[in-house]
Amino acid sequence: MRYGNGENYWIVEGNHFDISRGTAEAATMEIEGNETLKFDPKRSALIIIDMQNFFCSSLLGRSDGAIKLVPAIASAIRSSRQLGMKIIWVNWGNRADTANLPPNMLYSRKRGGRTHIGEPLPDNLGLALVKDSWSAAIIDELAVLYDESDYLVDKYRTSGFPGTNLDQILRANGINTLFHTGVNTDQCVMFSLLDAAFLGYDNVLLTDCTATTSPSYAMEGAIYNMRGRSFMAVSESLMAASSLLETVN
């Protein structure tokens, strides 16, 4: 069955989803539910959300949940590059005076007992989540994979879209399919994915490339909400797709 219009469409046949929109250079990967997904790598991007020192570093007493994602995210980065996909890092990067943030966000962080954005971190680690600060930097384990061809987007809300140039970058590059990774699953990852869906993008959540420090029920709820707006897959499936496409070419 075909969904969409003459230019923007999916074709769904049994357990196979073709969202490639007729490209001759499509890749196919396995997704959740013993299904397969055919997509156009040239019109796809890997989104890496908040893999920053503030959320991941043991120097701030963070759990190792985020660091444990490094092998899977690194694999997804390498596979994406082989496929010719764009790589987009979406990270908090605020003004030091927090003048770009609304009261509700500032209050919610204080109420939750978290370090206020723009406040000094312990041990002279600089200001929290301020652009170009240590805490806003990509963790070293992934920073080594950053390439000059990548895009780096500073975000100012839980979602990566409000007030940023993320949507502009995607549309300027003809991107229609987003692969989501990073932390936290039930917060910045979920809100960014849902905003992307509302804007008309196709979405794939790489479930082994995302984690949260929230209670298990929050993770379950997030996956439940995202499953209705996203395909689910793992980094190994993306790697297999890149290897298969490389063999064919």
Q: What is the pLDDT of residue 116?
A: 80
Q: What is the pLDDT of residue 106?
A: 85
pLDDT at 105 exceeding the cut of 90: no
Cα separation of 161 and 170, whole Å?
Answer: 11
In this structure, is residue 243 part of a structural domain?
Answer: no
Determine the structural domain holding residue 82 and report its residue range. Answer: 42-93+136-232
In this structure, is residue 158 part of a structural domain?
Answer: yes
Element (H, E) at 153: strand 151-155
In this structure, is residue 15 part of a structural domain?
Answer: no
Rounded to the nearest 5°, which phi and psi values hold at 52? -115, 160
Cα separation of 203 and 184, whole Å?
Answer: 17
In this structure, is residue 30 part of a structural domain?
Answer: no
3-state secondary structure of 24: coil
pLDDT, tens only, 182-204: 999 999 999 999 999 999 999 99
In this structure, is residue 205 part of a structural domain?
Answer: yes
In this structure, is residue 220 part of a structural domain?
Answer: yes
Q: Residue 115: CA atoms inside 13 Å, Cβ hemisphere, count? A: 18
Q: What is the pLDDT of residue 246?
A: 64
Q: Catalytic site residues? A: 50, 155, 188
Q: 72: domain CATH number?
A: 3.40.50.850
In this structure, is residue 244 part of a structural domain?
Answer: no
pLDDT, tens only, 11-69: 999 999 999 999 999 999 999 999 999 999 999 999 999 999 999 999 999 999 999 99
Rounded to the nearest 5°, which phi and psi values hold at 168? -65, -45
**What's the number of domains the chain is made of?**
1
Rounded to two decimals, what is the model's pTM?
Answer: 0.96
Cα separation of 160 and 156, whole Å?
Answer: 7
- What is the β-pairing status of strands 27-31 and 35-39? antiparallel
Element (H, E) at 44: strand 44-49
In this structure, is residue 16 part of a structural domain?
Answer: no
